[in-house]
Each structure stands twice: as structure tokens, then as C-alpha cells.
Amino acid sequence: MAKRGIKKCPECNTEQGVRTRVCACSFDFVAAKEKKEAAKDNKPEKQEKPRKEEYVDPRVKALGCLPPYEAPDEMTPKDHAKRILGYGKDRARNLLALALNNKNWSHVDWDVVAKGL
């Protein structure tokens, strides 16, 4: 790292004063700084990440018993269990059996689903 009040030329690696605009090797510090700032301005704005889609077993999809569902990030395992119970006891029982056999939906508290049945 350069000392305070000194900057290094990236081309010839010589030490220059902080007010130096152009190095002896003809490196333009001002143009480099403007180019760097322009690159910052041209960065695309930060996009929101897409919500995580819950894994649905292909056998369940084939039955057509579940609507497409995207799990919100802030849901707890108990919230997911309550949502499963909201589908009705028959669906919840079938999903519980599938989940216990495949271990796919670890984000759901299946003990809560079992107690709710």
C-alpha cells in the first residue's frame, strides 16, 4: 500500500504525488478515475432475488392435487405445516406419507402435521 500523500502508477509502478494528473510514462490518472466512476454508474440496479419455489414430488404433480406454490422466505417450518394442514386431511395425510418416504420437504415440521391429523 502506498504511503499517505503518494499514489503508485499501475503502468510503471513509480510513486507519484496525489495531485499528479499524468505520469511520466503517460498514464492518465484522471481518465482512469473517470472510467472507474463511469463503470460504477453503468452497473445494473440490484434486482430482487426470485422467491424459492418449493420442491414438489413429480408423483404429486402428476396427481394435480397441488396448485403451484412459491414459499415465502419468512415462513417457519410450523407455518409450512399449517399450510399443509390447510389443504385438507386427505391431502395432508398423502403428503405426509410421501415426505416420510422421500425426505424431500425438510422445511416442513412434519410432527405438527402428524399431530394435526
pTM of the model: 0.39
- Look at residue 86 in the predicted model and tell me its pLDDT: 84
Whether 102 has a pLDDT exceeding 60, the answer reads yes
pLDDT at residue 64 in the model: 65
Distance CA 77, CA 70 (A): 14
Q: Is the pLDDT of residue 103 over 80?
A: no
pLDDT recorded at residue 104: 63
DSSP state of 48: P
Question: What are the pLDDT digits (tens) for 32-52?
Answer: 888 888 777 776 666 666 656
Top-confidence residue, 26 or 57: 26
* For the chain, domain boundaries: 6-41, 58-116
Q: What is the pLDDT of residues 62-93, one digit of tens each?
A: 766 655 556 666 778 888 888 888 888 888 88
Mapped onto helix, strand or coil, the DSSP state of residue 67 is coil
Cα 89 to Cα 18, 33, 37, 59, 83: the distances in Å are 73, 65, 60, 18, 11
The CA distance from 105 to 109, in Å, is: 9
